[in-house]
Amino acid sequence: MVLSATRAVCHDRHALSGEVEFIALMRSLATHPGARGLQDDAAVLDVGKAQIVLTHDMLIEGVHFLSDDPAETVAWKLVAVNMSDLAAKGATPLGILLGFSLTGNSGWDRSFTVGFDAALKHFGVPLLGGDTVALPDGTPRALGLTAIGNAPTCGAPSRSSAKAGDVLYVSGTIGDAGAGLALLRTGQAKPAPLIEAYSRPMPSLALGQALAPLVSAMADVSDGLLIDASRIAQASGCGLEIDLGAVPLSSAFILARGDSCESRLFAATCGDDYRLIFSIDPAHIDALPELGIPLTCIGTCTDATGLSLTYQGENIPLPDCLGYEHGASIT
């Protein structure tokens, strides 16, 4: 994604305010139309008659992944989070560039390449180049990846085109990865589907490509359903009303955390889902693709502003934390 606040607990207000200030400074510099005001999942450049989609994400040890996470799954996640950004733009991958830090553990590095190769093959994307840097032994790892894709012929959907009267959908289930991380933090390794959701996210490029001609706005759910929905509302200048009871939960999630307002708020704010959230004109609903990934209506776009929540027919207050922001460790 392009300079968006991600992946650490949002209660660290000092770090958050520093990041917001820095992003505001960068937005004042990013005046090229392809940057989309640094408010989208990716940049979109016109190159001749084609559109190229570019995105960059970083994973930092202790911030985005646990220090004892297997190197193979860290590599998979690094590729997957960038493929998720391409999926949100309906893009077809062209290639990736890797930024890799060497920290004195050659065994970890070799295991990383195994997982990296598996991810490249799964998502059908070639490695084109990158850079390595040697850090002092034991330094927390810093990994970066730039992904490049071809935009669909209809153009890459943005976050900023939702409009009143649209309905809001999300793909797959929400909260599994966050529940998996919570289990790992306490030394548990089951239910396996939740651990797998955290370790090996599975964004769907094919779904993004199929949705692109139909949607009015689309983004990936990476930082939490509520915070990513709020970004669509802000960028589009409309309101989003989400029915918390309609947010799709997996049976494994319900087994681990139950099905209550509290557990649903956890699911909607924990992040790392790498699903697609999109608004669509009701006239296009019958054309939604059937690719084996459930698509669930979770709300509506209104002529108000901002985000609002209902649960079991009643309005409920927004939680203090809508999702993840930079500024704290996950360990």
pLDDT by 10s per residue, the chain, length 331:
334 333 434 544 444 557 778 878 888 887 888 777 767 778 999 988 889 999 999 999 988 888 899 999 999 999 999 999 999 999 999 999 999 999 989 999 999 999 999 999 999 999 999 999 999 988 999 999 999 999 999 999 999 999 999 999 999 999 999 999 999 998 888 899 999 999 999 999 999 999 999 999 999 999 999 999 999 999 999 999 999 999 999 999 999 999 999 999 999 999 999 999 999 999 999 999 989 999 999 999 999 999 999 999 999 999 999 997 655 445 4
* Rounded-to-integer distance, Cα 321 and Cα 251, Å: 25
DSSP annotation string for 57-69: EEEEBTTTB-TTS
Residue 216 is predicted with a pLDDT of: 97
Q: State the pLDDT at residue 3.
A: 41
Helices (H) and strands (E) in the chain, counts: 9, 12
**The CATH number, out of the four listed (3.90.650.10, 1.10.460.10, 3.20.20.70, 3.30.420.40), of the domain defined by the range 167-316:** 3.90.650.10
Query: In the chain, what are the domain boundaries?
Result: 13-150, 167-316
Residue 315 per-residue DSSP state: E
Closest CA to 36 of 272, 232, 304: 232
> Thinking of the domain 13-150, which architecture would CATH place it in?
2-Layer Sandwich (3.30)
- Let me know: does 123 contact 80? Beta carbons within 8 Å: yes
Q: Which amino acid is at 33?
A: P
Instruction: Spell out the residues 6+ positions from residue 248 whose beta carbon is closer than 8 angstroms to its own.
Output: 170, 172, 173, 174, 294, 296, 298
Alpha carbon separation from 177 to 114, 134, 263, 268, 304 (Å, rounded): 22, 31, 13, 11, 32
Prediction pTM value: 0.91
Q: Of 79, 77, 82, give the one whose Cα is nearest residue 64.
A: 77
